[in-house]
Structure formats: structure tokens, C-alpha cells
Structure 1
């Protein structure tokens, strides 16, 4: 078999999962500079990969050219033209399986991620729960490349330099003379969202320190309305959502001193940029393998398992358990503020 010089990498969604591939691919690019990577994902995620050497981004077109089964055949042909030697499938869903299989049938080496469903089910089940950490997604991604013949080291990671802030961004943020705190108080499911009244108290307490400037992240009219309420009356609290392009939001995040996030995509975006991340966990738990890159359990604040012993009840937060609706209220606001302040020392 010829030496592998070009690997196509699949991860189509979701935002946090795509962000979790970035540290692994950045490490790969640094350790194997002679091997080209082509990342296949949705166009929206292209900025995640900017600046990684010898990496090209291939924007999949799921609305037209690459839609449906025959669209996947076209995707295979489009990628084949690039001179691909191997496939690293970091998604392992029907779409990527089909394209991966076509490459395998043409004689290319392929490998795919093991999502560890059995271990995760054991962690979240009600009876006979096995409460111990499962392999992180970063380790699972490493294993895919190992199967292709490439060992990746994630110790001493390399992060991009802080982005230069454009005039448009500075019109919103002002020059950086204070500690910048990002807060992303939303998640896909309510079971992963810190109650709004408690988050308001966290923000109010932090805003008392005039050496802090706080930026609120979210998206969509409903979230923006909530963010504006959280920021109301505080000069050093700024709603970012809806005011800048996504690429510009990434530039602000790269200049933060710390990010407070739920178990959501924002935690992984901040982590891939080398930012300290504090996460709050409700129905889910960092033991499921989704702790943000290069972070420790010291900054993962989990709901009280003494009061809610069935936690975690879900991997993604989509499963509701009666009586556990208020699990995140067991996270004291004082602890959240103290951990943030400690990270800013």
C-alpha cells in the first residue's frame, strides 16, 4: 500500500462536535507536516480550521449537489479527484459511512470513530450504573488516526494566537484594559441550562467588579431577548449575540480570559482557541467524554449527585427524568463566581 500523504476527514455536525476535532487536527498538522488534511463539513464551520497548516476545507452541499444517495456518490467523486489516500471518519453516521465505504471499495485505507455507546449507556442508565469516566472524544479521535498509522500526541498543545480585533469589533467591545469574561448561558436542551434567575445573580455579582468586562453569547431572537435582560443596567456587561458575524464572535472569544459555558458548543469553541473554560453540568456529566479540551475537572461544576443520585441521566441532555428538572439549582452561585474569580488570578 502506498504511503498515506492525503487524508480526508469527516465531521459534518454538530457545532461542539466539530470544534472538538480541531485540537486533534491542529496537533496532527504540527506533527505530520508532510501529510495533507481535507476536512469535510458544513460551510458554517470553516472558520474553525483557519490557520491550520496543510489543511483544506471542503464545504459539503447537503441542499443541492451532495443531497441524497446520489449526492453522496457525487461527493465521493468530488473528493476522489483531490487524490485522497485515506479516510478518517470522525462522525460515523450514515452519510459518512456511505462515502467511507466507497473509498474502501476503491482500495483506500479507512478508519472510523468508536463512539463508545455501551460505556455511555452504562454511565447514564438508572439501574446498575457504572459511574466512571469513559474515554474522551479526543482520545477516540486519536485512535482513528492511529488505525491509519499516525500516533498523535496531545500533550503541550499548540493554540492559535489571539485574533486581532477589527474596528467593528472594537466599537462593541472597546479596547481590552480589563479581564474579559465570556458567558454562554444556553444549550440545546433545558436540562443542561443553568436557571436564568441564578445566572442573573452570577452576572450581577461578577459585574460588581469594574475590572471585569462580561460578554454574553447566544443566538436567535429569543436568546438575545434573555441576554439583554441579563445585561440590563450594567455598563460592563455586553450582549454580543446578533451584533457581529460568527467569525467576529470567534475573534472576541479568542481574546477572553475565561469562558463560562453550559455543556454546549461554546465550551468547545473556547477550548479549541486555548481559552480557560468553566462548564456547568445538569443532566449530563463530563465523565461521558465531552469535557472541553485541555480542561480539568476542577473547572467542571456538576450538579449535586447526593441530592440527585441518578445523574448523569443523559449523554446529550435530551432525556428527562421526573424530579430532576431542578438538578442544576444544586449548583451554588457562590461556587460558580468563586471558580471564575480563581481562574482570573
Structure 2
């Protein structure tokens, strides 16, 4: 173990074991994938253990020297005592250093415990002051901030492992699993993914406008629209669209996560909100067309290696307070309908450009 508290650069040739911590959410976990891909390609002697939920394991299955350690945060690892148990378990894994890509209360408890064990611990700089300046109503500093991907990479640089994210190479498309063919079929149409939901309504394109987009795209006949979501309400909505429009298929509740990933890796493009599916698709170098509401790509959450012109934004002259928050949880009075300043024709045109 490294007990000096110094950089690990002098030990790079010895095969270090780095623990990477990020518990949630889906999009944030997906954004780690390109970073770790570049890291292990440049430093193949490294062993990486990702501390997260077991559900996310398929995301990392193609990266050598990377494994998952399950964080059972609702069970044996719950609370301060549970985190103590977790830290002891991880010490037994002979961790040399920790890259905390989350910086929340749980990880700060772990930070104290790993400090006691003499294990080097570096945390992400989330750029909170810069994000506050970007999202405040008055004297807004409207400029592109560092991407979350680069903030992740910076943590590894602090540990002595700098990297250049421009060296990322997307993995090959995954083999389509048999269940996917059962659900989707094998027609020769273009496959457009559609992920119309997000955590907050302020980041979702209005239902009636999305139906105009679906009507136009589905009527063309050469595009199959594959719809993604989760939960009962989303499942019900997508099934309604599946029945209403031709060439539309919902996969909610029909595929496991690993099967969804194999499907996403074979899409021709993804139409998504500012949400996790954009980041999942970007892993594979597939075009992502993203629709933004009260959030904005300048906060650093644009999908990896996706051009700014694929981000469809509201009328910023009419709504100058955008972004009103980083996550879309703050909607000022009069900003409830910012998405309606994005015409469906604009969305359709951008999709067709990418297909």
C-alpha cells in the first residue's frame, strides 16, 4: 500500500490497484467508461476496482483489468457502521489508492477511514463555484465549463496517471443477444433510439410535440424507432406510442440491462433528453441528438465526444436565465414551457442529418 500521501507516479511500473468510487446515477456511471478505457490502455499495469452497484457491471465488461465491487448501500454497507465494514473489506483487497468520483457524504466517511488505513485518497473537483456562477439568475457567467469526463480524468492525474481523453477509441458494437432479435426483429431499417424521459419534467420534451416528431419519423418507413425508459408510468406512455405509431417499439420491461446495452451499441443514432441514455450511447461513438430544457451543455454534462450542434437548445434570447440549475430541478416562473420554443421540425431535421 501507498502510505506516503504522495503521488503514485514513481510506482507506475509496479502494477497499482486503484479503487474508483461512484455509486450513482446511471449517466454519471456511464461517463466513467471512456475515462477508464483510456486509463487502462495507457497504463495496462493498473488494476481497477469500481465501487458501485452491481447493476452497472455490464457497462465495464469490455474494459480489461476492470472489475466491480458491489456496494450494498441498503444492506450490509448501510450507515456509518456499514461503511466501516465496507472500508475493512476493501482494505483486504489490497487497494493502493482511491479515486473518489462522487464526493458525497458516504464517500467522505470512506475518505476518513482510508486515511486511517494510510491509503492515498483523491476526490473530484466538481467546480461548484463555477457551476453556481453559470446557473445564477443575475451576473451569470455564461461559458463552457470543464466536462465531467475531464473532471474524472483529473482525479487520476492527481494520483500520478495523466491521460488525454482525445485518445479514446469506442469499443466494437456488441453482439446482439437473441432476446433483442425477439423483441426488435431483423428488418433492415435504420435504428433510431428514443429516450424521451429524464429525472425532472423540465428536461422532457412535451408529449404533444414529441408525438409530432414520432408521426413524421415513423411515417417515413425506413426508420425503426426503439424506445427506452423505466418505471410503470414511462412503460405505459411508450406502449401508447407503440400502438399509435408504426415502426415504433418499446423495450421497457422486455430486456435486461446487458441486452439493452447490446441493442444501444447497434443503433444508428439516439434521440435523448439530457439524461443517462445519451451517455450510454456515446460510449459506442454513436451519434446522440440531445434536447435540452432549463439545463445547458455548458455545465459539463454533454455526451462524450458529441458535437455541440447535436444539442438542441431552447430560445435562449427568450429565456436568458438558462441554465437555471445543473440538474434541472429549478424552474423559475415563466420557464415551465421553455421546451416549446424548440419546434418539432428542428428535431426531425437534426435526426435525419445524423441518420
Query: 1: distance between equivalents of 2:135 and 2:94?
Result: 43
Q: Which residue of 1 aligns with 2:269?
A: 258
- Secondary structure of the residue aligned to 1:261 is strand
- Give the CA deviation at 1:339: 0.8
Which runs of no fewer than 5 residues in structure 1 stay unpaired? none
Matching of residue 78 in structure 1 with residue 62 in structure 2? no
Q: Which residue of 2 aligns with 1:96?
A: 107
Query: 2: distance between equivalents of 1:148 and 1:157?
Result: 20
Query: 2: distance between equivalents of 1:222 and 1:148?
Result: 44
- Give the CA deviation at 1:176: 5.1
- Secondary structure of the residue aligned to 1:155 is helix
Q: Scaled by the length of structure 2, what TM-score is found?
A: 0.94
Query: 1: distance between equivalents of 2:112 and 2:307?
Result: 37
Q: Which residue of 1 aligns with 2:217?
A: 206
1:62 to 58, 73, 90: 73
Query: 2: distance between equivalents of 1:13 and 1:93?
Result: 11
2:58 to 41, 47, 50: 47
Task: Point out the more displaced range, 104-113 or 28-37.
Answer: 104-113
Distance 1:68 1:177, change over 3 A: same
- Secondary structure of the residue aligned to 1:339 is helix
Q: Deviations over 1:278-308 (max 9, x none)?
A: 1100010000000001111110011111111
- Secondary structure of the residue aligned to 2:197 is coil
- Give the CA deviation at 1:138: 0.8
Which runs of no fewer than 5 residues in structure 2 stay unpaired? none
| Matching of residues 39-188 of structure 1 within 5 Å | 39-175=50-186, 177-188=188-199
Query: 2: distance between equivalents of 1:270 and 1:166?
Result: 17
Q: Which residue of 1 aligns with 2:47?
A: 36
Query: 2: distance between equivalents of 1:272 and 1:117?
Result: 26
- Give the CA deviation at 1:103: 1.8
Matching of residue 242 in structure 1 with residue 253 in structure 2? yes
Query: 2: distance between equivalents of 1:64 and 1:339?
Result: 45
Q: Contact 2:214 / 2:245 at 8 angstroms: preserved in 1? A: no
Query: 1: distance between equivalents of 2:316 and 2:18?
Result: 43
Q: Which runs of 4+ in 1 moved over 6 A?
A: none
Query: 1: distance between equivalents of 2:283 and 2:111?
Result: 26
Query: 1: distance between equivalents of 2:289 and 2:123?
Result: 30
Q: Which residue of 1 aligns with 2:242?
A: 231
Q: Deviations over 1:8-45 (max 9, x none)?
A: 00000111111111110111111111010000001211
Query: 2: distance between equivalents of 1:41 and 1:327?
Result: 35
Q: Which residue of 1 aligns with 2:200?
A: 189
- Give the CA deviation at 1:258: 0.4
Q: Scaled by the length of structure 1, what TM-score is found?
A: 0.97
Query: 1: distance between equivalents of 2:187 and 2:69?
Result: 35
Q: Deviations over 1:212-265 (max 9, x none)?
A: 111011111111111122222433111111211122111111110100100011
- Give the CA deviation at 1:104: 2.5
- Tell me how large the CA RMSD over aligned residues is: 1.2
Task: Point out the more displaced range, 6-15 or 303-312.
Answer: 303-312
- Secondary structure of the residue aligned to 1:38 is strand
Query: 2: distance between equivalents of 1:63 and 1:310?
Result: 38
Query: 1: distance between equivalents of 2:290 and 2:112?
Result: 37
